[in-house]
Structure 1
């Protein structure tokens, strides 16, 4: 597919490394310039025209929208006091409603939902496409909330104070203009705020570096400065750590994404906690600060190993004393997925060979003791919410073939009961799941999940979709998707979820094996899985497609530029692709701890070896890639995808491109937009792989 608009420019693109000054597509980084949007509109129209004609397109759209709009889906709870709050979207509430029900009625299975805020009405009144981004309540009565709202799905939000009794925004109440950052109640008349306070108050990553106290009735410009980080930090973020009725004001100063200085404000004076800067704090329980270690830590001759969960006596720590207890030390096959706190218990969600296990820890007689919850096995466990007033909590279980089920549990005795399950959108009994390990280039065993029909033939003809992420210590866990099942598996597809390095499946070491100069390990792992699928005759290059978003978009972008012969379809979503300029675009500078700094010659040396934008070569036959991004993505700049597309077209490589005008980094803001994205992407995959 040739693009007449670009071809007329007659620009020759070298396959050599491009400097920013030589980049002929720099103009595509101008997000909303008429020229850029003309390019976007033209490509959108071409892609929509082609893919909407695929025979499966309308059925995929209808099925995806039916699933998203289903009134039988789970209304996930957020507990504040005696109420459960929920945000809900369906065909009658396109942008959604924020609502609540009495907690007892919700648990009994008969919630009495009371709509508090209707975003469709609000959007129509103000002619702004509002997207709900969360709410924080005023402890302990929760009669007022700080509502975060985004214009079109961007990360930057407007924060407004809302009264749940009157179901209205508070007249002359707290208001924080659009910015990245956040606000938390200290009391009914005071907020602790991070925001764009004006000139020189944001970091080079685009996040706040100042923390202020905002009193009711005063303007943001008059807020009291209580902490200030550096311009070169990722950002400073504030909040509250609560230990029962006791609360502490916390500032987290992220010098990099993985090095965090934790500061406690006592009478507005900062106390820096003497803990490793890569440790992650998860709350306070019975004066014990719960901390997960990302590297070994030796204190008074005793070594606490990387990946361990420890607790520190918090009041001792505030005066420089380290009274430490070991809670959990994972083995080489396990890692901590999440840590949560109820009124009196600690919940640790563990991954064991990428399968969930749940443990309850009690701190009695100055010692930690645990019991394992007899939760469902061979899938993913997610803590949905805890109740600070009791030891009740909610968790979810799912796997590739089992619809998600929400459970109500009691951490006091380990019991739980099913509250709600998704309906089965496809017949899971026809399929099976295998977990396989393959050797990567350096000999490391890398696991992947293989989801196939029980009667699949190993003849190399199966349309196969390989998905992975591989970054930021984020694990890729088994999940249930009615859309994947009904439009991919039911159409003869095979699905692969690869647990490559860079993620958190086996703890911090798994992540750190893919950092910076070690990034090629991530790509080698991905290639190894693809080659194993081909060797086992699950599929062949003609029938193998890959998918990834954000960092996963970088992954698949690198995969098809390094080994184009392996893949016949590539879905590259909201991707990073220009690794020479990524740190200058939106939030890109915050990721230098993950990828490296391209402005440092030694680090550009390894970045340029895989940067997809710089490794496209003339005369190479690449897959016909589908790029998907969003104009309103203020995290990963849409210029990455735009420039890659422009360069590929000029080099004579046909592509598909679709840019949703709103949606932010999630790509879509409404169920209709999500259904359209699914219809485009799965139609493309069936078109390329199922013939």
Structure 2
């Protein structure tokens, strides 16, 4: 057999590489077409979908050779990486929680590959290491995907994932000895563990192991809920619940504080709509064969059980309230006519609800920044939680009997702080406030409102050095997501901090498709209305240019996953509006996304090419299918990981091949393929620094910035 690379003609590297002269690997085209509702659509790079083939691996190697040479030649690369590393190197803490009379929290000393779990009996005590994931692999690519102590605080069920994969293996560890038990749970994805109060085992969801040589696809990709008893093999785990009539059901289990119930959140896709059920426990123990009680399975809204008082279950929902409300459901009379509103919908968007210390702690978004309100058992308002400023708050978890809770606060220019909150008195005190090399007092952030194409107003958050001149010459990065009910709120990140230290402006756009203004805001950016998302992002760019923050040649756009789709779509639609773009692990083939791994679950947001009307909408914006020749595109660097099993790398591979084959001008069209990481979760620190610093250096090189 001829050498694979030579046979495909993949490698044709230029002697020297610059922004103006690039020679890309020649990507083989095949004569493949699919017919959708009578319309033939070419798919010349279908062979790149097989990321395990020798041909695709050769293509990856050839593409990385071009990209590596380009990046190594950039004078901005090393100083940007140095600055990024310096800003990353500070002590970081997670939000503490309490179990079995002990506190647990994460800490990273600065540049550790993975954060370490610590524990202490009292907050003032010297903590000890509960579990250090850095000991699980030499290169730091094995990360914790879950950490759930037993009710007595003596054991911990923990999940691990390798190379950024969504697949998890769960194990049990004795915290006193630091030794693992023999228990091992495989084929877990999108699930945590929830212990029964007797400490004898836990609930979890998993997939069936596929037959040898059979890939997991939408056809056989469904969850079942199990109970694992300590000391028994996984083969002996008890099947608690499945739906043979609708195998798209997935399960999240959480045991109630009083140990009488298991709340079951049942999902059918990546959207926010779900069904709700409960499973009774017998004095804190699971009894095999116990019957699940379905409370609601209409999948018409979000239903999240928050707590219960005997048979009365408190549920956060957007049923009948786009911006959310808290209701009480009597399990003896669960019909909708008997539901009672405890906390009514307001003008702000309810994003979280916790039952702690005999109170309800309710999180809200007001114009994409966090508010928290405290209510009594009857729903009556007690007080506001005073947050440090306009930013993002998270946490506030705990049990009904706890007297305290913890939360984090951050903004674009405020590194994440962790606070303790006394639920009874309303007093907040700092638990950990990081000391960072980022001089926050030298920077400022503001919220502005812009108007989209159809007249819709939306907020954007802008951060930069104080004293910025609005002369249109500022290098600017615009970041967005716009999907799956996920809000974009102002949070501190090293990428933004580094860019600002480099003299740039960093902007977050809270566009439709998220949950900033409730479910109606989310739905306004889905399926046949997805173009609203792109219009909002384009309007944000146009506003920044009109207000002279920047100009097209100095405006970069960035987003990941669904945000990568966003970047690909707006660059196709308005290439002249941007100077540079980095779509990360993007969903680029909108006609076939549902055929890979968990992609079928995204049809609630995107629709499906199997529907004739939705097919037309998807084809109209699909990044892969709308790359247009004879237009000058900005400099583009696609990033992905060849281990990504959520948004499979074929999306980025095929999109890059299409970009390089088209006549889109002399600006570089590169792909950076990480060969030891997946979608991003659990990525080791060194890989984060390398990838994100390369992105900023790519922007700086495009904008001809002098980085010292």
Is this a same-fold pair by TM over 0.5?
Answer: yes
**Contact 1:150 / 1:157 at 8 angstroms: preserved in 2?**
yes
Equivalence for 1:185: 195
The farther-off stretch of 494-503 and 309-318 is: 309-318
What does the per-residue CA deviation read over 1:212-241, in whole Å, with 9 as the maximum and x for residues that have no partner? 333445443343333222586543214123
Measure, in 1, the Cα distance between the counterparts of 2:245 and 2:631: 43
Kindly indicate whether residue 80 of structure 2 is the aligned counterpart of residue 60 of structure 1.
yes
Measure, in 1, the Cα distance between the counterparts of 2:110 and 2:464: 32
What does the per-residue CA deviation read over 1:183-203, in whole Å, with 9 as the maximum and x for residues that have no partner? 433343343232123459987
Equivalence for 1:293: 317
Kindly indicate whether residue 292 of structure 2 is the aligned counterpart of residue 270 of structure 1.
yes
Equivalence for 1:497: 508
Three-state SS of the structure 2 residue aligned to 1:413 is: coil
Measure, in 2, the Cα distance between the counterparts of 1:310 and 1:113: 37
Return the offset for 1:385: 4.2
Return the offset for 1:254: 2.6
Task: Describe the shift of the 1:404–1:185 C-alpha distance in structure 2 as closer, same or farther (beyond 3 A).
Answer: closer
**Contact 1:516 / 1:594 at 8 angstroms: preserved in 2?**
yes
**Contact 1:97 / 1:117 at 8 angstroms: preserved in 2?**
yes
Q: TM-score w.r.t. structure 2 length? A: 0.87
Task: Describe the shift of the 1:625–1:20 C-alpha distance in structure 2 as closer, same or farther (beyond 3 A).
Answer: farther
User: Which residue, 168, 185, 195 being the options, matches 1:175?
Assistant: 185
Measure, in 2, the Cα distance between the counterparts of 1:338 and 1:242: 17
Equivalence for 2:5: none
Three-state SS of the structure 1 residue aligned to 2:536 is: helix
Equivalence for 2:8: none
Equivalence for 1:593: 604
Three-state SS of the structure 2 residue aligned to 1:662 is: coil
Equivalence for 1:283: 306
Three-state SS of the structure 1 residue aligned to 2:644 is: coil
The farther-off stretch of 343-352 and 500-509 is: 343-352
User: Which residue, 610, 616, 623 being the options, matches 1:612?
Assistant: 623
What does the per-residue CA deviation read over 1:170-193, in whole Å, with 9 as the maximum and x for residues that have no partner? 1x3353356554443334334323
Return the offset for 1:245: 4.2
User: Which residue, 322, 328, 332 being the options, matches 1:312?
Assistant: 328
Kindly indicate whether residue 242 of structure 2 is the aligned counterpart of residue 225 of structure 1.
no
Kindly indicate whether residue 679 of structure 2 is the aligned counterpart of residue 665 of structure 1.
yes
Q: TM-score w.r.t. structure 1 length? A: 0.89
Task: Describe the shift of the 1:541–1:42 C-alpha distance in structure 2 as closer, same or farther (beyond 3 A).
Answer: same
Measure, in 1, the Cα distance between the counterparts of 2:82 and 2:32: 41
Kindly indicate whether residue 583 of structure 2 is the aligned counterpart of residue 572 of structure 1.
yes
Measure, in 1, the Cα distance between the counterparts of 2:609 and 2:95: 42
Equivalence for 1:212: 226
User: Which residue, 97, 101, 104 being the options, matches 1:78?
Assistant: 97
Task: Describe the shift of the 1:269–1:670 C-alpha distance in structure 2 as closer, same or farther (beyond 3 A).
Answer: same
**Contact 2:410 / 2:416 at 8 angstroms: preserved in 1?**
yes
Paired residues in the alignment total: 666
* Stretches of structure 2 lacking an aligned partner (at least 5 in a row): 1-20, 281-288
Return the offset for 1:682: 0.4
Measure, in 2, the Cα distance between the counterparts of 1:540 and 1:13: 41
Measure, in 2, the Cα distance between the counterparts of 1:341 and 1:441: 41
Kindly indicate whether residue 640 of structure 2 is the aligned counterpart of residue 629 of structure 1.
yes
Equivalence for 1:48: 68
Measure, in 2, the Cα distance between the counterparts of 1:668 and 1:248: 28
Return the offset for 1:657: 1.4
Return the offset for 1:547: 0.7
Superposed counterparts of 1:478-517, under 5 Å: 478-485=490-497, 487-517=498-528
Equivalence for 1:98: 117
Measure, in 1, the Cα distance between the counterparts of 2:267 and 2:111: 42
User: Which residue, 402, 411, 418 being the options, matches 2:430?
Assistant: 418
The farther-off stretch of 641-650 and 88-97 is: 88-97
Return the offset for 1:639: 0.9
Measure, in 1, the Cα distance between the counterparts of 2:428 and 2:308: 22
User: Which residue, 137, 145, 159 being the options, matches 1:133?
Assistant: 145
**Contact 2:85 / 2:689 at 8 angstroms: preserved in 1?**
yes
Measure, in 2, the Cα distance between the counterparts of 1:96 and 1:243: 28
Three-state SS of the structure 2 residue aligned to 1:37 is: helix
**Contact 2:32 / 2:46 at 8 angstroms: preserved in 1?**
no
Equivalence for 1:108: none
Task: Describe the shift of the 1:670–1:271 C-alpha distance in structure 2 as closer, same or farther (beyond 3 A).
Answer: same
Return the offset for 1:418: 1.2
Return the offset for 1:388: 5.7
Measure, in 2, the Cα distance between the counterparts of 1:20 and 1:66: 52
User: Which residue, 516, 522, 527 being the options, matches 2:533?
Assistant: 522
Equivalence for 2:13: none
Equivalence for 1:437: 449
**Contact 1:89 / 1:671 at 8 angstroms: preserved in 2?**
no
* Stretches of structure 1 lacking an aligned partner (at least 5 in a row): 106-110, 297-304
The farther-off stretch of 664-673 and 251-260 is: 251-260
Return the offset for 1:471: 0.8
What does the per-residue CA deviation read over 1:340-359, in whole Å, with 9 as the maximum and x for residues that have no partner? 22242211111112222111
Measure, in 2, the Cα distance between the counterparts of 1:673 and 1:521: 34
Measure, in 2, the Cα distance between the counterparts of 1:93 and 1:490: 23
Task: Describe the shift of the 1:454–1:63 C-alpha distance in structure 2 as closer, same or farther (beyond 3 A).
Answer: closer
**Contact 1:252 / 1:260 at 8 angstroms: preserved in 2?**
yes
Return the offset for 1:642: 1.0
Measure, in 2, the Cα distance between the counterparts of 1:13 and 1:174: 44
User: Which residue, 450, 459, 462 being the options, matches 1:450?
Assistant: 462
**Contact 2:112 / 2:685 at 8 angstroms: preserved in 1?**
no
Measure, in 2, the Cα distance between the counterparts of 1:323 and 1:178: 35
Measure, in 1, the Cα distance between the counterparts of 2:609 and 2:59: 28
Task: Describe the shift of the 1:248–1:64 C-alpha distance in structure 2 as closer, same or farther (beyond 3 A).
Answer: same
Return the offset for 1:269: 1.1
Task: Describe the shift of the 1:46–1:76 C-alpha distance in structure 2 as closer, same or farther (beyond 3 A).
Answer: farther
Task: Describe the shift of the 1:541–1:206 C-alpha distance in structure 2 as closer, same or farther (beyond 3 A).
Answer: farther
Task: Describe the shift of the 1:193–1:241 C-alpha distance in structure 2 as closer, same or farther (beyond 3 A).
Answer: closer
